């Protein structure tokens, strides 16, 4: 019997411009990126809100990929829309416009069948909503969360409550520094563990990731990709690969080694996302593609599957 993952986050349409081109209202949102990546490994249950403009073909796309959409609700109005651009620094997006639309009043309610999910990912939503989700799930094996600068600055007390209840925090380097006041990722990692999580994974864009836990640090560069088209959603895709791998292991508890390999699979999945606008590249990926790229990454980093 496979473990189930429930993800709660945004479902959106994104308008994106990079040095490689521009797209209008392509499928995006943290829960979409996460789900598509994780579903290659394990069944996913998605919780979010969309508007009346959300295309039936986009809903069907999720349903054909081992993603349960019972937790998606359609509200009167338009779907969350984000518009952003990347210029010289492809590690940082410049937000040009944010239309929350139906997402402004999102109040996550998990279907009863979701509440026994073994794995829970709290994507980047208000910490109060993350706490609401945690109050609805029943004894999950593994819970992780994401956050952003806005919540660190404006909802810190609630965020700290979330961190006291999760096993792992996945966060980017700038946010980790802001959260802790540290000047670098190494210092930030140890301070975050004092806030409650057992592990922290600091995502560093093209420079890879840093994981820190009871046995110390583990870090790797990003999977080498020469043709970066659009980095939007790479962090959420990383989380999807990370969770998908762990859920496929079917353990009752997880070792540092398990978390290391989850990070590796997260990196592999993220490397596909950046090769196309929005979800376009990730949607083409199959299990053999993942295996092939994993083998290339192993050679580049001297990893060994014998350790997996």
pLDDT of residue 92: 81
The CA distance from 299 to 61, in Å, is 34
pTM here is: 0.95
pLDDT of residue 304: 63
pLDDT of residue 250: 66
pLDDT band at 307 (very low <50, low <70, confident <90, very high): low
The CA distance from 196 to 243, in Å, is 19
The CA distance from 77 to 80, in Å, is 10
Percent of the chain with pLDDT over 90: 87
Question: Which residues face 85 on adjacent strands?
Answer: 17, 94
Please write the tens of the pLDDT for every residue from 239-275.
999 999 999 986 667 889 999 999 999 999 999 999 9
Residues 6+ apart with CB under 8 A from 50: 11, 59, 72, 73, 74, 75, 79, 102
Listed residue (262, 282, 160) closest to 203, CA to CA: 262
Residues 6+ apart with CB under 8 A from 55: none
- Reading across the β-sheet that carries 216-220, which strands appear in turn? 67-74, 44-50, 5-8, 119-122, 142-145, 168-172, 199-203, 209-213, 216-220
Structure-block tokens of residue 302: 């001297």
Topology (CATH level 3) of domain 5-307:
3.40.1190
Structure-block tokens of residue 231: 């980095």
Q: What is the per-residue DSSP string for 142-178?
A: EEEE---HHHHHH-HHHHHHHHTT-SEEEEEHHHHHH
Listed residue (117, 123, 161) closest to 137, CA to CA: 117
Q: Flag whether pLDDT at 37 surpasses 90.
A: yes
Quick one: residue 280, left, alpha or beta (phi over 0 = left, psi -120 to 50 = alpha)? alpha
Name the helix (H) or strand (E) containing 87: none
Question: Which residues face 46 on adjacent strands?
Answer: 7
pLDDT of residue 66: 87
pLDDT of residue 1: 52
């Amino acid at each position: 019997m496979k473990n189930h993952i429930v993800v709660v986050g945004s479902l959106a349409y994104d308008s994106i411009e990079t040095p490689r081109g521009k797209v209008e209202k392509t499928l995006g949102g943290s829960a979409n990126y996460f789900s598509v990546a994780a579903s290659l490994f394990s069944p996913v249950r998605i919780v979010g809100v969309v508007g009346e403009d959300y295309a039936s073909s986009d809903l069907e796309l999720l349903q054909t990929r081992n993603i349960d959409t019972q937790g998606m609700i359609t509200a009167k109005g338009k779907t969350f829309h984000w518009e952003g651009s990347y210029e010289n620094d492809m590690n940082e997006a410049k937000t040009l416009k944010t239309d929350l639309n139906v997402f402004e009043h999102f109040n996550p309610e998990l279907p009863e069948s979701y509440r026994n999910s073994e794995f829970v990912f709290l994507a980047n939503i208000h910490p109060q909503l993350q706490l609401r989700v945690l109050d609805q799930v029943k004894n999950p094996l593994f819970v992780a969360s994401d956050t952003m600068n806005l919540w660190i600055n404006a909802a810190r007390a609630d965020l700290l409550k979330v961190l006291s209840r999760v096993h792992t925090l996945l966060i980017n380097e700038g946010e980790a520094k802001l959260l802790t006041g540290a000047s670098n990722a190494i210092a930030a990692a140890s301070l975050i563990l004092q806030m409650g999580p057992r592990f922290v994974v600091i995502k560093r864009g093209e420079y890879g990731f840093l994981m820190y836990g009871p046995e110390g640090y583990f870090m790797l560069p990003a999977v080498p990709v020469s043709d970066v088209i659009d980095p939007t959603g790479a962090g959420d895709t990383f989380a999807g690969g990370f969770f998908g791998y762990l859920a496929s292991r079917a353990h009752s508890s997880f070792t540092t080694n398990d978390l290391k390999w989850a990070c590796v699979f997260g990196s592999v999945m993220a490397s596909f996302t950046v090769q196309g606008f929005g979800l376009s590249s990730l949607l083409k990926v199959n299990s053999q593609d993942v295996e092939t790229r994993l083998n290339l990454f192993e050679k580049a980093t001297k990893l060994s599957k014998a350790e997996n």
